[in-house]
Each structure stands twice: as C-alpha cells, then as structure tokens.
Amino acid sequence: DAGVIQSPRHEVTEMGQEVTLRCKPISGHNSLFWYRQTMMRGLELLIYFNNNVPIDDSGMPEDRFSAKMPNASFSTLKIQPSEPRDSAVYFCASSFGATVSQPQHFGDGTRLSIL
Amino acid sequence: SQKIEQNSEALNIQEGKTATLTCNYTNYSPAYLQWYRQDPGRGPVFLLLIRENEKEKRKERLKVTFDTTLKQSLFHITASQPADSATYLCALDGGSSNTGKLIFGQGTTLQVKP
C-alpha cells in the first residue's frame, strides 16, 4: 500500500513568495495532520483535520499560514508571504480514527528553505 | 505548562546490548503514550503504543513501560543491532484522549556500534 505522499520533497524560494505544500493521505484514513520540525523546537503539530474538517489549528503560527482539505485524499498547507524563519521540514501524517489511541503514519516531509 | 523530556545526548552502545531510552513528562497525565523511530531525511515511523493502565508492552525486540507515578516511560531494544541506529521520539496525548493531538519529545539519537 502507498504511504502518505508529500510534494515537493524540497522547496527553495525567496522571502515573500507564496509556498504551497501538498499531501495525499493513506486511503481510508480519516484524520490528517500537518507538523513542522526544526532543531530548536522539534516536531510541532500545526493543524489537524478529521473527516476533512479542521479540528485544532492552535499550532498554526500566524495568519500567514493556512491549510485546506477539500476532499479525503488531498490537503494543502500554504504560507503567504513566506519568511526565512519558516524554513523547516514540514510533515504530513494520517491516521484511521480521530484520537490518540491510533498510530499516525508520516510522509517523508518537505524540506523548505526560505532565502 | 506541559513538558516532555528525552535525553538530548546521543546514546552509544555496543551491538548485542540492550538500549534503554527515557521519556519523562511533567504537568499532565496522558492516557496514551507512543514511540516513533525517525531516520535521517525520513518521517517518523510508529513503533508502539501503550495506555495508562498498561504497565508494559512488547513487540519483538522492543519493550515499552509506562509508569504514571514516576511520570516516565522507558523504551528498551534488546539484542541491539547497527540497523537500530536512529532517533527515537516519544509522544503523548495533548491532555485529552478524545482528540488526535500528540505532543512529541525532542528525541534521543541511538548509535549502535558493531
């Protein structure tokens, strides 16, 4: 079975540009999570969806970040405008079920560099 | 505030020995605790989940304990192999078992030498 698929794997762009990260969860999973990982702060939850509905976006750093899940097989995380401090690895994960009693399955991430 | 602590220093052990990693938490009482493995350039991979009413969980060479009195989980890899070298992350529920929110520790890097 295909795992969680993220694109692009790497993104380098200049400050001020719009960045869109994409995620395809595992088929049949109904929860989707966006994380950010940095050396300083580790792995942080940004937002998660259940049945395509945002449940908790308290980790979204500011209004420059937005996430959508238009259907069960696709989600985007958008940063506009991007800033150098947004440089990090962004992971998408999915799970079957909406609670922490279920394991989460991660993609291999998008390494984002904002110059 | 809620805090999760894992040894920030790398753990170096000899092949064949048992590796023991520690996850301590303060200021809350999680109902679930999960352990993940992360290799360089890859996403975390789920290993084991343990509930607050379970003292111990095993899977092949892996064993996890959950001591709610000490607020600590120990993760053991027996008969360690160089292929076990990776960063290991513990994750706890974010204060409510009815949500999907996990809070991750910073991880401990394990290096198994042949």
Q: A22-55: b or e for each residue (b if 16 or more CB lie within 10 Å)? A: bbbbbeebebbbbbbbeeeebbebbbbbbebeeb
Contact A56 B101 (CB under 8 A): yes
At B101 the pLDDT is 86
Q: Does residue B1 carry a pLDDT above 70?
A: yes
Token pair recorded at residue A71: 């259907």
Higher pLDDT, A99 or B110: B110
The per-residue pLDDT for B74 is 97
The per-residue pLDDT for A2 is 85
**Each residue's pLDDT tens digit, A51-99:** 999 999 999 988 999 999 999 999 999 999 999 999 999 999 999 987 8
Nearest to A99 among B43, B45, B100 (CB): B100
Closest partner residue to A55 (CB to CB) among B31, B32, B99 is B99
Query: A78, A93, A87: which is closest to A15 by C-alpha?
Result: A87
Evaluate if residue B94 carries a pLDDT over 80: no
- What is the number of other CB atoms lying within 10 angstroms of the CB of residue B49? 18
Q: What percent of chain B has pLDDT over 70?
A: 96
> Number of CB pairs < 8 Å for A and B?
68
| Residue B33 near residue B98, CB atoms below 8 Å | no
* pLDDT score of B3: 86
Backbone φ and ψ of A96, nearest 5°: -95, 110
The CA distance from A101 to the nearest CA of chain B, in Å, is: 7
Over its C-alpha atoms, chain B yields an Rg (Å, rounded) of: 14
Gap between the Cα atoms of B90 and B105, Å rounded: 6
pLDDT of residue B112: 98
Sign (positive/negative) of CA torsion A43, B8, B70, B37? positive
d(CA B79, CA A29): 34
- DSSP E strand stretches across chain A: 5-7, 10-13, 19-24, 31-38, 42-50, 53-56, 65-71, 74-79, 88-95, 105-106, 110-114
Say whether residue B62 is in contact with chain A using an 8 A CB cutoff: no
**Residues in chain B within 8 Å Cβ distance of A69:** none
Dihedral class, residue A16 (left if φ above 0, else alpha if ψ from -120 to 50, else beta): left
Q: Does B114 touch chain A (CB under 8 A)?
A: no
Contact B100 A107 (CB under 8 A): no
Q: Is the dihedral of CA B100, B105, B109, B112 positive or negative?
A: negative
Q: What mean pLDDT do residues B90-99 have?
A: 78
> How many Å lie between the alpha carbon of A110 and the closest alpha carbon of chain B?
10
Q: Provide the Cα torsion A92, B100, A47, B23; round to 10°.
A: -80
- Asked if B89's CB is within 8 angstroms of A108's CB, the reply is no
User: Looking at the DSSP assignment, which residues form a beta bridge with residue A54?
Assistant: A49
pLDDT of residue B21: 97
Closest CA to A30 of A52, A8, A13: A52
